[in-house]
Chain A
Amino acid sequence: MKNCKTIFILIFVTGTGNQVGQRTLHILHNSEYPASSFALLEVPVNAAASGAASNTNQSSTPAPTVKTVSLVADNLFDLLVLKMAPVYTSKKIKIEAKGPRFELGDFVVKLGSVVMSQNFKGILVEVEYRPCIMADACWDLLMEFVQGIFGHNAVSSVPRTLQPRMKEVYTPLDTMHQYMDQFSAFRKAAGIR
């Protein structure tokens, strides 16, 4: 079992888009891929409102669905975003998951304690099975492994972001989507927005 530090840093940046919704740009770094920056842009998509409202006093509240546009870029991307300061104002919310990394045969287990602006939020456990590139093929194996650690508390449902991509080749971007999901849940849990 090898032990080394892993750091995830997440920076939130909100953008001033059009009046209807706010586009949020999240920038993530992962110490496993030190040369890359991951950027996830969430664009709220409104349902079509033309011709739907028959009365003027009926306020149209479109059901907001969020479309995520993702990007993997070089480390220089951070400097580029700094130049785009007028478009995306930085909110300076930083979430970090930091902790030891263990290798057990073909499995890699990372324990991260999530800290948001010096407040401890929770613990994330990431399990990776290295030989497989398709999530569908090794999901059961992963579940077995996780159940061995957590017992009955283990969640056996496929994560939301991974569900449509079970039969495709797994990329580091999928990992970052999952982290993004978890971090958003952590943020919402404390009610800070």
Chain B
Amino acid sequence: MSNSVSVSVEVPLENLVQEITYDGMELLQQPLTMSESLAKLAQRIDFCGKDEEGGAGSSSAAAGSTNENGDVKEEDTVNGEGGPDSNFKTSQSWPWESVRNKIRSALTELSVLGDILTIAQKKQYMVLDPVQAEPSDTKPPAVLMYKKKALGAASQVLLGGCERLRASMNEAKSRPSLATLDFHIELLRLRQNWRLRKVGNAILGDLSYRTAGSRFPQGGIFEVTKAEDDTEEGMADALSTSSQSQPPPPKPCSALRVTVPNELQGIAYIHVHVQKDQDTLSFANIGLPAPAPLDAHWQQRLEAAQNVLFCKELFSVLAREAVALHSMPIPPLVVGNQITATLFPGILLIIGLCHSITGKTQSPPAVSSKLDHNHVLEHSLHQLLREVHRTNSHIPLPHPATAPIGISRKRRLGGPCAYDRQTLLNMTKKEGILEEIIKQSQHVILRLRAMYFLDTLAKEIKDPLLVAHWASINAVTHSCVRITLVSSGYDMCARTQLVIHIKEKSLKAILKDGKAINLSYEPQELKDLLLCQIAIHQIMALQSLSKCLGWTVLSSCSHLGVGNCESTGNAAGCMLTSPNGKRILAVRSSPQAFMSAASIQVFIGYPPNAKYTTQQNNNNPIPMEVDDTSAATLGFEGMDLAAGVRYKSVRLDKLEGKNFLNKMEMLMAVLADVS
């Protein structure tokens, strides 16, 4: 047939009809969603290539034709041809099951391989034997020659070194001085402790703290030479002068001689001194080593030189900061080798650098043995400078390649945590060494003063006992003391406590009721506070005692507004009434006159209609007996109180009793018994 008809194959765009309902509506088969079609394709992925019995048909089907209807038909044919596998395929409930199975079998195989390898490693049950590789054909004579050449070169080097050593040993033997024999050993020991390098013919060393992070411009380079020339001259001199019966010069104790730069010779130390007028309140000597004479062992001399360098650096840092310090009302003064800073009015902190070249130091200025060497100040100065060195050399992690380096961790968090301007500004402020040491000294002074004051007060006042417990673990600028006021014999019912925090320039007292009082560095304020607390304590103790004895508290006030105006603080007072209601006790405790006997005033109140028998001597009627019969059972109730309660004062010094509470107990016991 010559007529050729072009046949076009098109994909029908309609979906298959799935079902026709009773009213004629066609329900179309939904087109596969993306995930469903992906699942379908995944099913047909051939993982192991085993089911190729379907042959080219199945592989071409898996090649990825997207024609839906065509796919369905082809798969049917493959399924028809294939064996039980295809039946298995069609009855899958879950589209990804074949994928899962393939992966699972792969996992099984890998686990088996892993197990075999572990077992083979143990060599107990299974051993892997290498297959003998074919020997490579090398020319034995050539290999032998190469080896011979290499060994020859190595042996040359070793022989050369051996020759040199032998020559130097022979030389040493020829000259009878044990010093040269030890030179190398001494040099080895020196190298173990100090950094040495060879420049030309000379051996130089470095004793500065540069590798530890110091940026001090003055370097410490010392030179190491053999000491034998010295010895020869020394011995020659000895021989020539032996007739003069001088003692021979001491033999050098080591084979090498160390030359230290001139400015680092001798001894140096930093002297910290807190002074009030002329008395020394506290002191510390930093870096005071044992004196090192010129012919001492090199280790001591090098250490002394390093110490001198450290002290010089420390002093230069302090001096630079002292000049730049503007935050204090009186700036520190730098004169020569001394820095003077004012801690409190009248109290000075003096830091001095003492450097003596001769190596002989005069003993440090004699201080009274009462004061011990303040270790905290000494340690702090060392530590502060070491801290500066450390921050110079250690950059905090992380070290990013694209961001600024050397920023502290807190500052790095500033961005993500959205810190505001004020917080960021506060982070940039850094205190120098001098400020730190001034703060610490101020704290030391305040603490010593508070200790001294509490001790003297405890010695003077006996009535409530003052017990001070100092916290044993403190910070450099913060200490804490807990003060308990207790009346002897009544500690269970009457105890007043307060805590005092001592900082650098102020004190903070926290009372039992939670009030926080800020005190300045003046000792008078602490004294006033404690006296007020003592006054309050007496009244509080009396109240709790009255509870035990059955007396009722009519009124109580810690800060009385009646009576004489106190010059320091307020008076405290309370009024008690006896169990039968016939007597009133009024007590007023004032902090002002505390040292004297007039600090506590006690008054007994009598009901208005009580009759008195007066003593003839004075005009003041002192009730010797009180006739209560008229007001017998009534006491103060039902009385015409406008007639007034009469109060008579009590002379406490005439009462029996160890302390105030004891006397009051007696008094209350007596008064309660009035019938």
Contact = CB atoms under 8 A, between A and B. Distances in A.
Given A72-B418, A73-B415, A35 B402 contact: no
Nearest to B414: A35
B402 A34 contact: no
B249 to A, nearest CB: 69
Contacts of B412: 74
A172 interface: yes
A90 interface: no
Contact of B402 (A75, A76, A171): A76
Contact of A50 (B33, B415, B424): B33
Contact of A171 (B33, B414, B418, B424): B418
Contacts of B416: 36, 72-74
A: interface residue count bin:
10 to 19
Give the one of B33, B403, B412, B416 with max A CB within 10 A.
Answer: B416
Interface string A27-44: 000011111111000000
A190 interface: no
B289 to A, nearest CB: 48
Contact of A32 (B33, B402, B403, B420): B420
Contacts of B33: 50
Contacts of B415: 35-37, 72-77
Contact of B418 (A31, A50, A173): A173
B424 A36 contact: no
Nearest to A75: B415
A38 B418 CA distance: 9
A79 interface: yes
A147 B419 CA distance: 30
Contacts of A37: 415
A108 to B, nearest CB: 11
Contacts of A72: 415-418
Per DSSP, chain B at the interface is loop
B430 interface: no
A33 B411 CA distance: 13
Interface in B422-479: 424
A72 B413 CA distance: 11
A33 B420 CA distance: 5
B658 interface: no
Nearest to A175: B418
Contacts, number: 45
Nearest to A50: B33
Contacts of A34: 421, 424
Give the one of A32, A38, A171 with max B CB within 10 A.
Answer: A32
A181 B420 CA distance: 22
Contacts of A73: 415-416
Nearest to B412: A74
Contacts of B421: 31-34
A171 B403 CA distance: 26
A171 B416 CA distance: 12
Interface in A9-36: 31-36
A121 to B, nearest CB: 26
A134 to B, nearest CB: 17
Given A72-B417, A73-B415, A35 B403 contact: no
B610 to A, nearest CB: 61
Interface in A85-142: none
A36 B415 CA distance: 4
Contacts of A36: 414-419
Interface string A155-178: 000000000000000011100000
Contacts of B419: 33, 35-36
B93 to A, nearest CB: 21
A75 B402 CA distance: 12
Contacts of B403: 74, 76
Nearest to A80: B402
A79 B414 CA distance: 17
Given A50-B33, A74-B412, A33 B418 contact: yes
Give the one of B416, B418, B421 with max A CB within 10 A.
Answer: B418
Contacts of A172: 418, 420
Contacts of B420: 32-33, 172
Interface in B385-420: 402-403, 411-412, 414-420
Give the one of A34, A73, A75, A173 with max B CB within 10 A.
Answer: A34
A77 B417 CA distance: 14
Given A34-B424, A35-B424, A50-B33, A79 B418 contact: no
B235 to A, nearest CB: 72
Given A34-B424, A35-B418, A36-B414, 10 more contacts: A35-B415, A36-B415, A36-B416, A36-B418, A38-B418, A72-B415, A72-B417, A73-B416, A74-B415, A76-B403
20 contacts: A31-B421, A32-B420, A32-B421, A33-B421, A34-B421, A35-B415, A35-B419, A36-B417, A36-B419, A37-B415, A72-B416, A72-B417, A73-B416, A74-B403, A74-B416, A75-B415, A76-B415, A79-B402, A172-B420, A173-B418
Q: Lowest 10 CB-CB distances: which A-B pairs, in order? A: A74-B415, A172-B418, A35-B414, A35-B415, A33-B418, A36-B418, A36-B415, A72-B418, A72-B416, A76-B403
